[in-house]
């Protein structure tokens, strides 16, 4: 019996007064709610994703690569989407898409590797943490016993926020291939030895356990886009279809480090992203899981407001991210970018990135966030009440 | 502490003896790719210092296998492509993709054939340090030339290597040096040279990156030949301040400033430690070795000798402490078991499928390595490789299926396999038919009758996790040992 059940059993009448406001019509927190993280690898250019098209400073900073006003998909009088994001417009209109602006952290680091480490481990800028934030969350607050895995990384070998000793994480290129090969691995007892050996034995055990449950050969009516990201979305949808118990899925899209001639490349990446996310929604609606799925994008950093001399953008700081799902309260969240108040040429942040994680932990999964995140970060109002 | 120091001094006396087969296997597996029973027996009779000197003396600066024919052909200049039709451009891309297969197969072949595996291991180490990827560079010939450069300096001077890499055409493309111009700097190279090539994160400020970027302006390419070219009109000759020193620096002077920093020697030595000794460098030993390395003008043989003779290298806790990279696993298996192979292309595809696509590391930081090599997907792929390679009779049966359906099996997972075309797939198919393992010949190197313990000692860095059935034949024992979790370690 957990604390909440205990309290309710003892004092049913006063329950409502003691507990945080129960999410009556909206979200019921718990690990049955799925988190899908989408990593925009390389650092997405937020200003050309969610475009401040009414701000003359935007066009002044980006004479070559700005998205023309008449190309922008206008959301309100000053904010619009890159035209390649058109597949996301139905979600916006259905109020299932939130654009979280100005997400970042204090004293930003402009190294890809250090900054993604900060995001993956939910550390402060100068703090080095070994484990991913999801790995810490699952270690402190385990998923139900019957779950096949805590998290599944699709289409990559880098476990990112799931890396660490605390999580039962599985990486798979495709479920079918995984199943075929799983019979070659078997669970083993760890007899001690080096750290590397302990890691190997843990992975062997993960494989055996995950393979037992990750079936998934649902015939979707939704069409999945060609290309690596579309196929990763298809695999993720099959993992959900297997219904074996998975709390988090991680997807990645490569190539956002657009230092040179970025316009065509960036449009192509955003199109893949939008088509992939729209397909994910279609598939999860079919499975009746869209209402219990929260999709969040993240990246190591945004890009510099001023374009560089190569028709591209160098590493920046604060960025805009997407939150989408049937339970999401759609709309614009957080401060619009202030191009007139740059700090060292870069955007200041208005939302601490760990507030996004606190939202996931507290509002979506119902686990205390401050222990996992090493501090108190206010959750955002991203979910329907 | 003093007692420990005197014990350390006593060690050279203690090792004046033949090191025996366990130490020989350990040294050869770490300094090379696998070791045959004959090599292990030969080195087992040497003292540790003798063995290390022999490995260092054997290193060379040039490959022994002939490169693909096209490395001597001129490149198709970007200018020619700009005016090209869509078909011509596609033909160019197809040509470079084909060449990338040639190149990867050639390097795997060199790793298999070389008399100095240490040279290739160091060339691979530098490929993962001074990263460039054909995904961005596009020209296979430039990738080849960079590989030649890395090998030439592989065990020579790190200082000379750094200076050479900074003007290497593939690097200039990869880190956007050519678009780094006076008045509109591109910081990409200046940042990575500090963060990843020399000092490491935390030993420089953003301002140092900006100033250094100005010093490298004008370092560019001749777009017709693909050769390095300095463009004085694009160079910012003004005053810069980098790491507290001021002057009208050019790029070479900035590199010398970086080399003068203690952090650079320590950064490189710590990385070599993780490559050769253990995942957790001993900070004091690293400082000591780095000081000698820097005093010896960055002579890499000095650093390697110190690392191979360090107490930590031989310590029991360092055995089975490193994860084999995919190249280690594949090339090491083929070398240690004396497989006969023809065209090495399939093995380049296998390493790619396991996460190590030569000439195409994932990003400028290179392959993260270590435990990151092993996840549920790659571990299964590694076991599948072992299963297949030791069942030679399965090869011809499995190959057509893999080749017919790109996307199926570990070969199909390899990046680019789907774009190889019929000709390329036929090449893989042919090559698979040329792989041969002769257990009788291999087992002949042991004193008869060969025991399970003999085989464990030859193939594993420690005792296997899964108990061997006592009735297993030597041939079956080899297969079971290669499927044991310990086989992934060295």
Q: Are A2 and A80 part of one and the same domain?
A: no
DSSP assignment letter at B157: B
Contacts of B179 (CB under 8 A, 6+ apart): A259, A260, A308, A309, A310, B186
Angle between helices B20-31 and B37-44 (to 10 degrees): 120
What residues of B are in contact with residue A171 (Cβ under 8 Å)?
375-378
Q: Are A210 and A251 part of one and the same domain?
A: yes
pLDDT tens digits for A282-317?
A: 999 999 999 999 999 999 999 999 999 999 999 999
pLDDT number for residue A21: 41
Euclidean distance between CA atoms B355 and B333, whole angstroms: 17
Tokens in use for A277? Answer: 């996310």
pLDDT number for residue A25: 56
* 3-class secondary structure, A250: strand
Model confidence at A190: pLDDT above 90: no
Q: B34 touching A, CB under 8 A?
A: no
Q: Are A157 and A297 part of one and the same domain?
A: yes
Is residue A119 a part of any domain in this protein?
Answer: yes
Q: Count A/B contacts: CB-CB distance under 8 Å.
A: 126
DSSP assignment letter at A47: G
How far, rounded to the nearest angstrom, does the alpha carbon of residue B223 sit from its chain's CA centroid? 29
Q: Are A291 and A169 part of one and the same domain?
A: yes
Model confidence at A14: pLDDT above 60: no
pLDDT number for residue A178: 60
Contacts of B318 (CB under 8 A, 6+ apart): B277, B278, B312
Q: Are A187 and A229 part of one and the same domain?
A: yes
Q: Are A24 and A58 part of one and the same domain?
A: no
How far, rounded to the nearest angstrom, does the alpha carbon of residue A268 sit from its chain's CA centroid? 20
Distances (CA, A) of A370 to A116, A129, A342: 21, 15, 31
- Whether cis (ω within 30° of 0) applies to the bond prior to B449 is yes
Of A5 and A192, which is predicted with more confidence?
A192
pLDDT tens digits for A109-142?
A: 988 878 998 999 999 998 888 789 999 999 999 9
Is residue A383 a part of any domain in this protein?
Answer: no
Is residue A379 a part of any domain in this protein?
Answer: no
Euclidean distance between CA atoms B402 and B418, whole angstroms: 11
Report the phi/psi class of residue A328: left, alpha or beta, with left for phi > 0 and alpha for psi in -120 to 50. beta
| Domain total of chain A | 2
Series of mean pLDDT values for 10-residue runs along chain B (490 residues): 44 68 97 96 96 97 96 89 88 90 97 98 98 93 98 98 97 92 92 96 95 96 93 96 97 98 98 97 98 98 98 96 98 95 92 94 93 89 81 41 36 56 76 82 91 96 90 89 94
Kindly report the CATH number assigned to the domain that includes residue A59.
Answer: 3.40.720
pLDDT number for residue A176: 57
**Which run of H or E residues covers position A101?**
strand A97-104
Residue A17, domain extent: 1-28
pLDDT number for residue B395: 40
Bridge partner residues of A170 (DSSP): A152
ipTM computed for the complex:
0.87
Euclidean distance between CA atoms B395 and B385, whole angstroms: 11
Q: Is the pTM of this model over 0.80?
A: no
Q: A171 touching B, CB under 8 A?
A: yes
Euclidean distance between CA atoms B332 and A300, whole angstroms: 36
Is residue A381 a part of any domain in this protein?
Answer: no
Q: B234 touching A, CB under 8 A?
A: no
Q: Is residue A253 within 8 Å of A266, Cβ to Cβ?
A: no
Q: Are A14 and A41 part of one and the same domain?
A: no
Q: Are A168 and A21 part of one and the same domain?
A: no
Residues 284-323, chain B: which have Cβ within 8 Å of A? 317, 319-323
Strand A169-172 relative to strand A97-104: parallel, antiparallel, unpaired?
unpaired
Euclidean distance between CA atoms A44 and A380, whole angstroms: 22
Q: Are A99 and A11 part of one and the same domain?
A: no
Min Cα separation A263/chain B (Å): 17
pLDDT number for residue A170: 83
Euclidean distance between CA atoms A265 and A255, whole angstroms: 8
Bridge partner residues of B221 (DSSP): B228
What residues of B are in contact with residue A155 (Cβ under 8 Å)?
none
> Which among A55, A77, A75 has a CA at the least distance from the CA of A341?
A55
Q: Could you give phi then psi for residue A34, rounded to 5 degrees?
A: -95, 135
How far, rounded to the nearest angstrom, does the alpha carbon of residue B220 sit from its chain's CA centroid? 27
Positions of E strands within B68-161: none
Q: Are A311 and A276 part of one and the same domain?
A: yes
Report the phi/psi class of residue B467: left, alpha or beta, with left for phi > 0 and alpha for psi in -120 to 50. beta
Model confidence at A10: pLDDT above 60: no
Dihedral, CA of residue A200, residue A357, residue A215 and residue A228, to nearest 10: -90
How far, rounded to the nearest angstrom, does the alpha carbon of residue B219 sit from its chain's CA centroid? 27
Residues 359-418, chain B: which have Cβ within 8 Å of A? 363-365, 368, 370-372, 374-381, 383-384, 387, 408, 413
Euclidean distance between CA atoms B285 and A180, whole angstroms: 46
Model confidence at A167: pLDDT above 70: yes
Contacts of A174 (CB under 8 A, 6+ apart): A231, A235
pLDDT number for residue A306: 97
Measure CA of the first residue to CA of the last residue in chain B; give whole Å.
30
Dihedral, CA of residue A237, residue A241, residue A246 and residue A251, to nearest 10: -10
Contacts of A128 (CB under 8 A, 6+ apart): none
Of B82 and A20, which is predicted with more confidence?
B82
Contacts of A52 (CB under 8 A, 6+ apart): A58, A78, A79, A336, A337, A339
Most confident of A202-211, A235-244, B420-429: A235-244
Contacts of B470 (CB under 8 A, 6+ apart): B452
Is residue A214 a part of any domain in this protein?
Answer: yes
Is residue A385 a part of any domain in this protein?
Answer: no
Are B488 and A200 a contacting pair at CB < 8 A? yes
Euclidean distance between CA atoms A167 and A148, whole angstroms: 12
Euclidean distance between CA atoms A80 and A67, whole angstroms: 10
Half-sphere exposure (CA, 13 Å, Cβ side) for A142? 9
Tokens in use for B439? Answer: 């257990």
pLDDT number for residue B476: 86
Is residue A277 a part of any domain in this protein?
Answer: yes
- Among A135, A157, A180, A306, which would you mutate to test the B interface (most chain B Cβ atoms within 10 Å of its Cβ)? A157
Q: Are A266 and A327 part of one and the same domain?
A: yes
Q: Are A65 and A154 part of one and the same domain?
A: yes
* 3-class secondary structure, B131: coil
Is residue A187 a part of any domain in this protein?
Answer: yes
Q: Could you give phi then psi for residue B437, rounded to 5 degrees?
A: -120, 130
């Amino acid at each position: 019996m957990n604390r909440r059940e205990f309290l309710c059993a003892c004092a049913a009448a006063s329950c409502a007064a003691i507990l945080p406001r129960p999410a009556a019509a909206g979200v019921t927190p718990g690990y049955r709610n799925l988190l899908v993280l989408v990593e925009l690898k390389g650092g997405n250019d937020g200003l050309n994703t969610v475009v401040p098209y009414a701000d003359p400073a935007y066009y002044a900073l980006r004479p070559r690569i700005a998205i023309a006003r008449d190309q922008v998909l206008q959301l309100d009088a000053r904010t619009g989407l890159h035209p390649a994001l058109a597949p996301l417009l139905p979600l916006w209109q259905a109020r299932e898409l939130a654009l979280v602006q100005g997400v970042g952290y204090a004293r930003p680091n402009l190294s890809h590797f250090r900054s993604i480490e900060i995001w993956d481990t939910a550390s402060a800028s100068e703090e080095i943490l070994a484990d991913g934030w999801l790995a810490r969350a699952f270690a402190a607050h385990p998923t139900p016993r019957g779950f096949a895995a805590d998290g599944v990384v699709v289409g990559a070998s880098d476990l990112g926020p799931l890396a660490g000793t605390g999580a039962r994480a599985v990486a798979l290129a495709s479920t079918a291939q995984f199943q075929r090969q799983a019979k070659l691995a078997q669970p083993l007892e760890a007899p001690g030895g080096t750290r590397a050996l302990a890691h190997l034995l843990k992975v062997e055990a993960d494989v055996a356990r995950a393979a037992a449950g990750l079936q998934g050969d649902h015939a979707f009516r939704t069409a999945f886009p060609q290309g690596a990201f579309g196929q990763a979305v298809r695999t993720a949808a099959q993992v959900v279809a297997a219904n074996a118990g998975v709390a988090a899925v991680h997807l990645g899209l490569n190539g956002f480090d657009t230092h040179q001639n970025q316009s065509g490349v960036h449009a192509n990446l955003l199109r893949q992203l939008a088509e992939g996310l729209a397909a994910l929604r279609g598939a999860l609606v079919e499975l009746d899981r869209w209402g219990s799925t929260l999709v969040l994008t993240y990246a190591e950093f945004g890009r510099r407001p001023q374009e560089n001399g190569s028709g591209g953008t160098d590493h920046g700081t604060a960025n805009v991210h997407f939150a989408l799902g049937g339970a999401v309260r759609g709309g614009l969240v957080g401060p619009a970018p202030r191009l007139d108040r740059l700090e060292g040429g870069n955007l200041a942040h208005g939302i601490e990135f760990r507030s996004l994680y606190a939202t996931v932990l507290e509002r979506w999964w119902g686990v205390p966030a401050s222990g996992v995140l090493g501090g108190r970060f206010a959750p955002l109002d991203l979910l329907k009440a | 502490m003093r007692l420990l120091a005197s014990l350390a001094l006593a060690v050279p006396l203690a090792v004046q003896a033949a090191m025996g087969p366990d130490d020989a296997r350990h040294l050869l597996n770490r300094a090379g790719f696998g070791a045959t029973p004959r090599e292990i027996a030969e080195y087992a009779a040497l003292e540790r210092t003798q063995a290390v000197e022999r490995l260092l003396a054997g290193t060379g600066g040039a490959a022994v296998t002939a490169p693909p024919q096209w490395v001597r052909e001129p490149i198709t200049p970007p200018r020619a492509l700009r005016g090209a039709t869509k078909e011509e451009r596609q033909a160019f891309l197809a040509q470079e993709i084909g060449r990338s297969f040639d190149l990867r197969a050639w390097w795997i072949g060199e790793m298999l054939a070389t008399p100095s595996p240490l040279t290739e291991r160091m060339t691979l180490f530098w490929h993962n340090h001074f990263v460039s990827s054909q995904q961005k560079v596009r020209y296979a010939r430039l990738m080849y030339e960079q590989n030649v450069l890395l090998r030439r300096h592989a065990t020579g001077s790190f200082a000379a290597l750094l200076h050479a890499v900074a003007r290497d055409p593939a690097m200039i493309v990869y880190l956007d040096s050519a678009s780094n111009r006076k008045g509109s700097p591109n910081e990409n190279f200046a940042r990575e040279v500090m963060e990843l090539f020399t000092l490491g994160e935390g030993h420089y400020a953003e301002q140092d990156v900006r100033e250094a970027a100005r010093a490298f302006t004008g370092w560019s390419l001749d777009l017709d030949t693909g050769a390095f070219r300095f463009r004085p009109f694009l160079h910012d000759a003004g005053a810069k301040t980098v790491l507290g020193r001021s002057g009208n620096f050019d790029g070479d002077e900035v590199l010398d400033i970086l080399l003068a920093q203690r952090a650079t020697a320590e950064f490189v030595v710590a990385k070599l430690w993780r490559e050769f000794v253990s995942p957790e460098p001993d900070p004091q030993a690293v400082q000591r070795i780095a000081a000698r390395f820097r005093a010896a003008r960055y002579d890499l043989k000095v650093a390697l000798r110190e690392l191979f003779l360090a107490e930590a290298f031989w310590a029991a806790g360092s055995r089975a402490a490193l994860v084999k990279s995919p190249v280690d696993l594949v090339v090491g298996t083929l070398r240690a078991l004396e497989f006969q192979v023809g065209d090495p292309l399939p093995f380049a595809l296998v390493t790619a499928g396991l996460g190590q696509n030569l000439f195409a590391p994932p990003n400028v930081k290179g392959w993260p390595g270590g435990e990151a090599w092993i996840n549920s997907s790659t571990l299964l792929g590694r076991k599948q490789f072992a299963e297949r390679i030791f069942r030679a009779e399965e090869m011809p049966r499995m190959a057509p299926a893999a080749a017919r359906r790109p996307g199926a099996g570990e070969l199909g997972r390899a990046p680019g396999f789907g774009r190889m075309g019929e000709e390329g797939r036929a090449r893989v198919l042919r090559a698979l038919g040329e792989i041969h393992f002769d257990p009788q010949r291999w087992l002949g190197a042991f004193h008869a009758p060969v025991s399970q313990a003999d085989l464990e000692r030859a193939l594993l860095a420690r005792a296997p996790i899964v108990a061997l059935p006592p009735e297993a034949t030597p041939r079956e024992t080899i297969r079971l040992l290669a499927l044991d979790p310990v086989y992934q370690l060295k």
